[in-house]
Structure 1
């Protein structure tokens, strides 16, 4: 069992390393889209945080669509409601939407704090040796 898990993580690591070396295309965009937005030089911190709220809310909407598809499948295919795959897909979706809602609320609180109490500086690029 340990060997299978190690092989799985090795394949995932090698796949991500190869994708990182590829030129930007649709495959690399989809593979790394879960990283979220990065600050743009000269952008206000509040606008960057608002982009993070929008990003997290986009994940909430995606999981809502996921549950809509599961509900439609459950209505038309009642026999498969007790199938382990359907149960696992439902359970995984609840974890995903819970994390998406929590991150959306956390980013919203952070954005509101920045708007109301500050500070709200502009993002700037730092060289590696300046960090």
Structure 2
């Protein structure tokens, strides 16, 4: 997902992210959070933004078992394969630490699923 990896200043220096399955968790200034709706905006996709459409988008993500957002640690790159010489064996598996460079499809799947359901619901 180019915009999430390159177009967002906080994300541009980082190569990994953690999928979020709730947007209601604790917050921290150390993490940059990109919701599915925000991801659609970053991609330049115009989707309905009324409450019903937004809710339908997030309901579709939950039904598909997809994340509702991603978070990127802002202070440093975590799980850096350059430091260890290899990627984290628990990374890039759709559950925990994911790598933009490993061509993780989760961010785009998340955004496109949210958009499709929001558009289907309409306003």
TM-score normalised per structure 1: 0.32
* Higher RCO (CA 8 Å, separation ≥ 6 residues): 2
Structure number, greater radius of gyration? 1
TM-score normalised per structure 2: 0.33
Q: Name whichever structure is richer in strand by fraction.
A: 2
Q: Name whichever structure is richer in helix by fraction.
A: 1
